[in-house]
Copies of this chain bind each other. A is one copy, B any other.
Amino acid sequence: MLNLRQQGVLRAIVQDYIRTAEPVGSRTISRKYSFALSPASIRMIMADLEDSGYVTQTHTSSGRVPTDKGYRLYVDNLMDRAALTPAEVEKIEQHVGPPATEMDDLLKEAGKLLSLLSPYVAVALAPGLNESHFERVEFVSLAPTRVLVILLTDSGLVHHKHVLIEEPIKQEDLDRIGRFLCDLLKGRTLREMRDVLLSQMADEKAQYDRMLNQAIQIGRQVLDMDAEADVFVTGAAHIADQPEFADVQKMKGLYQAFEDKSKLIWLLSECIRDNACRVVIGREIPIQEIQDLSVVAAPYRRGGQIVGVVGILGPTRMEYGHTVALVETTATMLSRSLSEHAA
């Protein structure tokens, strides 16, 4: 596609633009980067790069700015992978290194960490109930017709919900129902549980079996609980420092997007399928409001299985090399920390 010289120039343009946020001119390239070429020759190459869509100009006589396509090539082929400094590694180990059991706390910590070590916005996707496998259920009777249901999943999540039932029920009956539901549903995802429960309801004999009836009544209320994964956004204020968002209205748009958790969840859930760190650049992001950003995201595991995603949102003009290293390391440490007690 591009010859070596063109690649070199593109690389220089991207790197310089990432540093300065200013359009890069031929003169800059020829001076600061060691091409044995005059500005005029660089201009030729730049014109080629522009024809192929890797760079653009903001106006007819300005320097060049990388396009999303340019960044893509840079990330895939041209970029140096930055190594983290010892200080950074240590910070990561301090924050998410120690074995932990409380998923939420640990993820919040990871978010803080990433937004501390990068000038961008950190995101962390917690495991969702929908994808987790049912492990166990416990009931706590609060009042004759009020029960606290506690749901445990294999991803280490604990969810609870208050449930109201029609007729009073004793703790021992609850225990029986618990054992029954556990046998019926163990190992299934929430989605599957829904199906099983619906088919049980359709079954005629359910009408007459009092316990089954109550079990289904409870199960139904539990299943329409908030099953979405949760996402934590940290360091959103960082983007105010990026010159591309110096305009208040643009910033507002981004903040609104950050508050709309469902879209972020969707975006990050896409990355959960990948095995390694993933970079999504600008228009490649399927969410309109944040198409001026890029995402660097890596999944983390608990006991071998991928359960969530941590990542960074920043301007497309982002220190990709450093950010990728940061996110990957954090995800790795997070996995280790979570798996320590997963037994």
Point out residues on A near B: beta carbons under 8 Å.
101-102, 105, 136, 138, 140, 142-143, 146, 148, 150, 152, 158, 160-162, 164, 226, 234-237, 240-241, 245-249, 251-253, 255-256, 259, 341, 343
Contacts and interface: CB of A to CB of B under 8 A. Distances in A.
A246 B246 CA distance: 10
Contacts of A248: 240, 245-248, 251
A152 B140 contact: yes
Contact of A259 (B136, B236, B247): B236
Nearest to A143: B343
B152 A142 contact: yes
Count identical subunits in the complex: 2
A307 B160 CA distance: 20
A182 to B, nearest CB: 12
B246 A234 contact: no
A241 to B, nearest CB: 7
Given A161-B102, A248-B248, A341 B150 contact: no
Contacts of A138: 138, 140
B140 A150 contact: yes
A267 B178 CA distance: 43
Contacts of A226: 105
A150 B150 contact: yes
A18 B66 CA distance: 45
A166 to B, nearest CB: 14
A299 B252 CA distance: 30
A146 B341 contact: yes
A259 B240 contact: no
B236 A241 contact: no
24 contacts: A101-B162, A102-B162, A138-B138, A138-B140, A143-B343, A146-B343, A148-B152, A148-B158, A150-B150, A160-B160, A162-B341, A164-B341, A234-B259, A235-B259, A236-B255, A237-B252, A237-B253, A237-B259, A240-B252, A241-B252, A247-B248, A248-B248, A248-B251, A255-B255
B160 A150 contact: yes
Contacts of A246: 248
A132 to B, nearest CB: 15
A237 B341 CA distance: 40
Nearest to A241: B252
A148 B137 CA distance: 12
Given A140-B138, A148-B158, A158-B160, A249 B240 contact: yes
Given A102-B162, A160-B150, A160-B158, A255 B240 contact: yes
A291 B237 CA distance: 18
Contacts of A236: 255, 259
A241 B255 CA distance: 12
Contacts of A237: 252-253, 255-256, 259
A295 to B, nearest CB: 20
A164 B328 CA distance: 29
Contacts of A252: 237, 240-241
A240 B251 CA distance: 8
A325 B256 CA distance: 26
A46 B259 CA distance: 43
